[in-house]
Amino acid sequence: MSEIAAKAPTRPRRRLIVSRLVPYLLLQALIVIATILGLRLLQPSDPEDFALSQFSLREDGVTRPVTLPHFTSSRYSLADPPLYTGAFTFRSADAGAGWSVYLPRFSNAVEVAVNGVVVLDSRRDANANRPDRNTPQIAVIPASLLRDGSNEITVRLFVWGPLKGFLDTVYVGPDAALRPSYETRTLLFVTLQVAFSAWQSILAVILAIMWLMRRREPVYGVLAVAMVLGVIQAFIPPPVPPAAISRLAAVLLASAPTESALIVAFGVLFFGWRWPRYGMLLFAPGLIVFVVGLIAGPPLPRILFLVLGIPTVGICLFLMACVTATAVVRRQDAASFTIGCAVTIVLTCWVHDMLSVFEIVTNERIFVSRLSYSAMLVAIGAGLTWRFARALNQVDSFAGQLVTRVHEAEERLKASFAREEERARAAALANERTRLMRDLHDGLGGQLVSIVALSERGHEGASITDAARAALKDLRLVIDSMDDIGGDLMLALGSWRERATAQLRPHDIALDWRVATPQGVPLHPELRPWHVIQIVRILDEAVTNAVKHAQARNIAVTIETLDGAQGPYGVISVTDDGCGFARAENGEAAGASQTARGLRNMRSRAARCGAMLDLSSDAQGTQVRLQLPQVFPDSDAAGG
Amino acid sequence: MSEQGETGETVTILLVEDDAPTCWRLQDALVKAGYEVRSAGTLAEARTALAEAAPRVLLTDLRLPDGHGVELIREVRQRFPDTEIMVISALGDEESVISAITVGATGYLLKDAFPTDIATTVRDLVAGHSPISASIARFIVRRTQGAAQSSAGATPGPALNTAKLTPREIDILWGIAKGFSYAEIASHLGLSRQTVPGHIKNIYRKLEVHTRSEAVFEAVQQGLIKL
């Protein structure tokens, strides 16, 4: 069961891989064929009318006739180089302009003499010394040297191993006939290479900057390093063996395998895979060549380069081809296709060069891998820059989208905020209604009911009047407490003083009002109407008790601010000179129970406001001391 | 016993109140104190009474069966500048009192005030002392603060122009709002006790909006209207 389940997705997946890989491989085969054809077609043509191919070669003391192009054995000594001697015919009648000698391809360096006089020494041209470039040479033969009839030409071929020496057909003829061919080769193998290198250096700078700004993407940095190495390799002239600056030579030799390893690293990173730890092994050949180059003198590094470096390049190219093929199968996108095709071209060129080196195919020893590699790098660099620009565009459009989204979210937030506010307002209104109801129930409601009860029992006069007055007073208190007093309790106490004075005037009781501190009680920004009502009702109760039950003649209200440990707090005291509630208890039972209820009420009201209520009473009078909290409680916790 | 004004004549009062028991109650208290009281239950009756003779004092309720007491106050204020006007209010709330003050009333009387207090209040008024409650004073001073804070007045309650009040007058109002007596206010502010009622009367006068053109002028002065 589980096997079937495991196999089921595998088969379509394999089919998918095959269906994607086969067309890709066919395409790569086509590209290989196209590349080979292209290389054949692009082979620069030479002016065959002026070819000199029959030479006699004196090598190691032995003279033998040879036909150019000709390979000589590899050697590491510049002493006693192979000497090619040939002859050409010059007719002064034909020579309108000067004659030249043109060497399309040789390695590693030549010294050309006509009639025993040296006319060309390629060792002085740094570019011409590079075996990886197919630099041609041309030299005008001074007219004075040329004799009518047969002339002798000798070519010394300097070879520094490990590659074999090579001398292509030599051309001698009118400068006008040879020059175009020379120019074509120069353009293809020298100027184009320089142009690519220049381009590469610019891209290296751009990519390096990208990497510096975006450290998270090492892919740019890797490619930049590869390009920098390429540029160094291209522009630093390799030392000519006699002037053996072997260390520099080692650096230059190490560049090719290192570069190719970097390109593989780039490929892996570019397609979003992790760079495996053992991947560092790829850099080993370059490192070995470099270290050996630093330690040992020539020719060891060059041999090492041939044995180690060039295969590394091939392996890297092959790995890169595998990486891109996998990417093509997995991603099926333009980038992997393009890079894959480019790698195939470079790989074909490398194989072409290898076949050429080992003389497996007849050739003119034209190396194209370096050129194709530079072209590939430039293509990749341009592609990356394009991708970067596209990412920027995406960021732009993303920013645009973000602005829109943020705007939308803001609108939604506003709407929900408005809804929330509406809800909060409704809740506040409901709370306020509940509070008002409770306040009216506590005061006005009870008093009105008591008026109804009194009038039903046929009471006349004073008791109904008192109840009605109390009801009116309470109504005023409720209305008054709803006013915004900005946290200044003194404003509420001011109104209360007025009402209390009016209440006491018929009883002929004086209300002594003492504000001990200038500001009275501290400001309480958190003060709410229901706090004010509780406080005022406590004071009312105290005054009512003093008048009704204690028969007081003088009532004093003292308002002061005291300094406590946590800051200032307000204290309101109501003191009377009545008989106190101890005596009242002995006196009349009804009054006592009423007083007791009043006291309980006062305590619970004080508790709801977070205030402390102290009562002291004796025959000389009563003191009600209300100590306000530092901060009034937010919710009516004890209420209910 | 007859209550007399400065000229020695009997003080006449026109009492406009539509609730009969309240009217009787006030009338009894005032007559007992020696005033000559005429009463009216509606605006029309009040106008008829005014046509006969100008009273020394007008006491009027605001909600009347055939109109609003504010109209009556405005008329009396314009026709009889010497008449003292008081509004009768059940609760003494700022809504009714302030709107009466802005058309020319200089005091208020609570409907349930004790008879002696009713008489005292009217006597003080005739003597030039306008009564003011702590809650009314509080309303006015808070309005002065509100005007200072924001000109875009979204403050609730009746419109009130406090721009003409002097700092001293505002200090006095603060004192009243906090429950201090005239004597205490006078000593705090370094005034003579007798001058405080005069200040309060001035405050009332300054809060009055005399005419429509004056109202527009003041609105322009305060930047409430842009011409």
A237-294 pLDDT per residue, tens = 766 655 555 566 667 778 888 888 988 898 888 888 888 888 888 888 888 888 887 7
- Which amino acid is located at A391 in the chain? A
A375-396 pLDDT per residue, tens = 787 778 777 777 778 888 888 8
Q: Are B23 and B15 in contact (CB under 8 A)?
A: yes
Residues B203, B148, single domain; the answer is: yes
The percent of residues above 70 in pLDDT, for chain B, comes to 82
In a domain, B227, yes or no: no
Residues whose CB is less than 8 angstroms from the CB of residue A292 and which lie 6 or more positions away in sequence, other chains included: A250, A300, A301, A304
Adjacent-strand bridge partners of B109: B88
pLDDT at residue A583 is higher than 70: no
Residues B68, B151, single domain; the answer is: no
Residues whose CB is less than 8 angstroms from the CB of residue A322 and which lie 6 or more positions away in sequence, other chains included: none
How many domains does chain B divide into?
A: 2
CATH of the domain at B193: 1.10.10.10
pLDDT at A592: 61
Residues A193, A176, single domain; the answer is: no
| Cis previous bond, B197, omega within 30 | no
Residues B85, B42, single domain; the answer is: yes
pLDDT at B15: 93
Residues A632, A499, single domain; the answer is: yes
* Separation CA A224–CA A221 (nearest Å): 5
pLDDT at residue A217 is higher than 90: no
Answer with the residue of higher pLDDT: A432 or A639.
Answer: A432
Taking the CA of residue A479 and the nearest CA in chain B, the distance in Å comes to 8
A346-360 pLDDT per residue, tens = 989 888 888 888 877
The token duo for B159 is 């419109």
Q: Which chain B residues are Cβ-neighbours of A478 within 8 angstroms?
A: none
* Separation CA A627–CA A608 (nearest Å): 13
**Mean pLDDT for all residues in chain B:** 80
DSSP-assigned letter for residue A307: I
Interface test with A, best of B97, B109, B135 (most A CBs within 10 A): B135
pLDDT at B220: 56
**Mean pLDDT for all residues in chain A:** 82
Residues A197, A181, single domain; the answer is: no
Residue appearing with tokens 């016993």: B1
Residues B121, B139, single domain; the answer is: no
Residues A171, A213, single domain; the answer is: no
* Nearest CA among A90, A233, A202 for reference residue A150: A90
* Separation CA A227–CA A219 (nearest Å): 12
The 3-state DSSP class for residue A234 equals helix
Q: Which residues of B135-144 are buried (b: 16+ CB within 10 A; e: fewer)?
A: bbbbbbbbbb
The 3-state DSSP class for residue A127 equals helix
Q: ipTM exceeding 0.90?
A: no
pLDDT at A586: 47
* Nearest CA among A122, A134, A125 for reference residue A187: A134
The neighbour count for residue A13, using CB atoms within 10 Å, is 10
Residues B117, B25, single domain; the answer is: yes
Residue appearing with tokens 């990208």: A210
pLDDT at A2: 43
Residues whose CB is less than 8 angstroms from the CB of residue A470 and which lie 6 or more positions away in sequence, other chains included: A443, A447
How many domains does chain A divide into?
A: 3
CATH of the domain at B81: 3.40.50.2300
Cβ-nearest to A498 among B114, B133, B139: B133
* Separation CA A319–CA A309 (nearest Å): 15
Q: How far from the centroid of its chain's Cα atoms is residue B149's Cα?
A: 27
Residues A180, A193, single domain; the answer is: no
- Which amino acid is located at A65 in the chain? P
In a domain, B46, yes or no: yes
Kindly determine whether residue A494 and residue B178, on different chains, have CB atoms separated by under 8 Å.
yes
In a domain, A305, yes or no: yes
CATH of the domain at A600: 3.30.565.10
Q: For chain B, what's the residue count?
A: 227
Kindly determine whether residue B179 and residue A476, on different chains, have CB atoms separated by under 8 Å.
no
**Where does the pLDDT of residue B156 fall: very low under 50, low under 70, confident under 90, or very high at 90 and above?**
low
* Separation CA A480–CA A352 (nearest Å): 104
Residues A71, A142, single domain; the answer is: yes
Answer with the residue of higher pLDDT: A384 or B147.
Answer: A384
- Which amino acid is located at A164 in the chain? K
Q: Which chain B residues are Cβ-neighbours of A498 within 8 angstroms?
A: 133-135, 179
**Where does the pLDDT of residue B216 fall: very low under 50, low under 70, confident under 90, or very high at 90 and above?**
low
pLDDT at residue A81 is higher than 70: yes
Q: Which domain holds residue B91?
A: 12-126
Of the residues B126, B142, B157, the one at which a domain ends? B126
Cβ-nearest to A475 among B91, B135, B181: B91
CATH of the domain at A59: 2.60.120.260
pLDDT at A29: 92
Quick one: average pLDDT of A117-146? 83
* Separation CA B92–CA B137 (nearest Å): 12
In a domain, B5, yes or no: no
Residues A133, A200, single domain; the answer is: no
- Which amino acid is located at B17 in the chain? E
In a domain, A280, yes or no: yes
Residues B140, B94, single domain; the answer is: no
Q: Which domain holds residue A494?
A: 483-640
* Nearest CA among A479, A493, A594, A491 for reference residue A544: A594
**Where does the pLDDT of residue A1 fall: very low under 50, low under 70, confident under 90, or very high at 90 and above?**
very low
Kindly determine whether residue B139 and residue A483, on different chains, have CB atoms separated by under 8 Å.
yes
**Where does the pLDDT of residue A45 fall: very low under 50, low under 70, confident under 90, or very high at 90 and above?**
confident
A618-635 pLDDT per residue, tens = 888 889 999 999 888 877
Q: For chain A, what's the residue count?
A: 640
Answer with the residue of higher pLDDT: B16 or A445.
Answer: B16
Quick one: average pLDDT of A453-458? 80
pTM of the model: 0.53
Q: Are A549 and A591 in contact (CB under 8 A)?
A: yes
Quick one: average pLDDT of A294-322? 82
pLDDT at B13: 92
* Separation CA A33–CA A28 (nearest Å): 9
Of the residues A154, A185, A216, the one at which a domain ends? A185
A residues 478-497 lying closer than 8 A (beta carbon) to B: 479-480, 483-486, 488, 490-491, 493-497
Q: Are B40 and B49 in contact (CB under 8 A)?
A: yes
* Separation CA A459–CA B97 (nearest Å): 35
**Where does the pLDDT of residue A30 fall: very low under 50, low under 70, confident under 90, or very high at 90 and above?**
very high
Determine the residue of chain A that is closest to B145 in CA distance: A486
* Separation CA A513–CA A516 (nearest Å): 10
The percent of residues above 70 in pLDDT, for chain A, comes to 91
In a domain, B197, yes or no: yes
Quick one: average pLDDT of A464-477? 83
Strands in B73-190 per DSSP E:
84-89, 108-110
**Alpha-carbon torsion (A585, A591, A595, A596), positive or negative:** positive
pLDDT at A632: 86
Residues B172, B106, single domain; the answer is: no
* Separation CA A162–CA A300 (nearest Å): 9
pLDDT at A553: 86
* Nearest CA among A219, A246, A212, A251 for reference residue A235: A251
Determine the residue of chain B that is closest to A496 in CA distance: B179
Residues A210, A173, single domain; the answer is: no
pLDDT at B115: 85
B residues 103-142 lying closer than 8 A (beta carbon) to A: 112-114, 116-117, 133-135, 137-139, 142
| Termini Cα distance of chain A | 69
Residues whose CB is less than 8 angstroms from the CB of residue A307 and which lie 6 or more positions away in sequence, other chains included: none
**Interface check B176 vs A, CB under 8 A:** yes
B residues 77-96 lying closer than 8 A (beta carbon) to A: 90-94
Determine the residue of chain B that is closest to A519 in CA distance: B178
* Separation CA A353–CA A590 (nearest Å): 125
